[in-house]
Structure 1
Amino acid sequence: MATYAIGDLQGCFTPFMALLRQIEFNPGRDTLWLTGDLVNRGPESLAVLRWVFEHQDCTQMVLGNHDLHLLAVAEGYGKIHSDDTIDDVLDAADSKLLLDWLRCQPLMIYEQGYAMVHAGLLPEWSINKALRLAEEVEDELSGKDYRKLFAKLYGNKPARWHGELKGMDRWRLIINAMTRMRFINSDGELDLSYKGELDGAPAQLRPWFAVEGRRSMDTPIICGHWSALGLMLTEDVLAIDSGCLWGGRLTAVRLEDRAQFSLPCPPYREIGKSK
């Protein structure tokens, strides 16, 4: 039995299947952890969703920003962008079944001594605090009034956490941190403007995982989202979006011994376009 964490798929179904063959994944024995962004920008979002839905018994995932964007568009609250590739999901005969299932997936999981979240955790949050906050949003997403959340999903504010935040401001910041974050600025605010490599980051920005005093530092966190960062495996962070969509690699890490497996991917998108 083995547990494999795999980075952002974004509709790259063919490399996904090739990687599963490479690691000799056995659905009756092994488990997959997927870092979110199952869909969008790649060519086979529907195939990815259907595979994960059909293999729920051996797969765990967290929601990414592209997954939430798909759900918002499906509810009429998000705009389809020119480089989106989600029409196959929206037009599918089983679209409602798949989207209702996707909407009820978690923002964060914690098992086997690892936490997994799509983008990251704010420095103020311990693992237990983050799990409680994720559950608040998950309850809204799976509840009967979930469309109200999608109606006000988009936006970059508020940018700083404080416990007095309520309602949509609170949920939007939780979502933005867990699904969109890369950097924190010198004022302790979430900065969503810069998406590039570490070496080119403005001086006032720090990657979320390098902020001094981060309260989740005692638990290894598995994340994706940041293809420009590339594969980065440290004692407390396993960042495994190695840029399959952009002609990089698709990576799996076996959690029991941190063995790495990867394969090259065709460039479904050109480097430099919006991520």
Structure 2
Amino acid sequence: MTDYAIGDIQGCYERLLDVLDKVDFSPSRDRLWVAGDIINRGPSSLESLRYIRNLGSSAVVVLGNHDLHLLAVALGGHNVKKKDTLHDILDAPDHDDLLGWLLQQNICVHDSQRNFIMAHAGLPHIWSVEQGVALARELEAVLRGPDVEDYFREMYGNYPERWQDDLQGMDRWRMITNYFTRMRFIAEDGTLELATKESAGNSPAGYAPWFSYPRPDDVRVIFGHWAALEGETGSDRYIGLDTGCVWGGKLTVMNLDTGERIHCDC
């Protein structure tokens, strides 16, 4: 069995098949770790979502901001945006099953044997691995619990800007969501800057890429979300797999044991 991790698919179903064919991926023997944003902006969101869902236990999935956006539209009453490609899912006869499956997926996953954690946007330096995993489990319980519609109604927003252990309710849940699914630039004290989407060299004053701060552990972090990085973080322990397929870049898979990265052009 070979385990592969893949960056943001974002509805690029044909390219997904292409890159998996390059590594001779077979769900009967292999496993695919999906770093979030299965859907949206690309031409085939429904097919991409069905494919990953149908992998069953051969897929390990964390939710990205676009996956949460679909749920916010469906469950929280938010509007579909102009550039969204979500109507095929919302109109599909199996949309309830697909949405229910998404709600059962992870916010982050931790592989202690390989010493890595995977989250869509990464892991902030202010959280230990143990704290990050615990907070992810807390948010996952909200997604699967009676407050899920209230959560999606109030999910969007840039405030609070900084984590505090005594945050409660929606402020706490939104803060966890923003670190795990929207983070790019962050201040030393953990304050998030969520407006800038450019490359790591264009940090706003007082902020830096989240992976530039020292951590007290040696965990590797696998993430997607930041297409402008083109997969380059300057460190072997921070593994960016969003290489901008939906923007005409590449779709990338990585062998989790050898570190080899395989691309297909988009």
* TM-score normalised by the chain length of structure 1: 0.93
Size of the aligned set, in residue pairs, is 263
In the alignment, is the contact (CA less than 8 A) between 2:160 and 2:175 conserved in 1? yes
Alignment correspondent of 2:138: 136
Question: Between the two proteins, what is the percent identity of the paired residues?
Answer: 44
Pick one of 209, 212, 218 that aligns with 1:210.
212
Query: Does 1:78 find its partner at 2:78?
Result: yes
| Off by >4 Å, runs of 4+ in structure 1 | none
Structure 1 letter corresponding to 2:247: W
In the alignment, is the contact (CA less than 8 A) between 2:74 and 2:90 conserved in 1? yes
Structure 2 letter corresponding to 1:41: R
Structure 2 letter corresponding to 1:137: L
Structure 1 letter corresponding to 2:37: D
Structure 1 letter corresponding to 2:137: E
- Deviations for 1:163-212, whole angstroms, at most 9, x for unmatched residues? 1111110110000000000001365411101100122222322000112x
Alignment correspondent of 2:3: 3
Q: Distance in 1 between matches of 2:138 and 2:27?
A: 31
The answer for unaligned runs of 5 or more in structure 2 is none
Q: Distance in 1 between matches of 2:228 and 2:182?
A: 13
Pick one of 103, 114, 117 that aligns with 2:116.
114
In the alignment, is the contact (CA less than 8 A) between 2:63 and 2:106 conserved in 1? yes
Alignment correspondent of 1:239: 240
CA RMSD in angstroms comes to 1.2
- Deviations for 1:21-61, whole angstroms, at most 9, x for unmatched residues? 10000111111001000110001000011111111120111
SS at match of 2:135: helix
Q: Distance in 2 between matches of 1:199 and 1:121?
A: 19
Q: Distance in 2 between matches of 1:77 and 1:116?
A: 29
SS at match of 2:101: helix
Query: Does 1:199 find its partner at 2:201?
Result: yes
Query: Does 1:37 find its partner at 2:37?
Result: yes
- Deviations for 1:242-266, whole angstroms, at most 9, x for unmatched residues? 000110000011011101100100x
Most deviating of 134-143 and 178-187? 178-187
SS at match of 2:78: coil
Q: Distance in 2 between matches of 1:162 and 1:38?
A: 30
Q: Report 1:40-119 matches (<5 A).
A: 40-111=40-111, 112-119=114-121
Alignment correspondent of 1:124: 126
* TM-score normalised by the chain length of structure 2: 0.96
Structure 1 letter corresponding to 2:262: F
Alignment correspondent of 2:160: 158
Q: Distance in 1 between matches of 2:36 and 2:89?
A: 16
Q: Distance in 2 between matches of 1:208 and 1:200?
A: 13
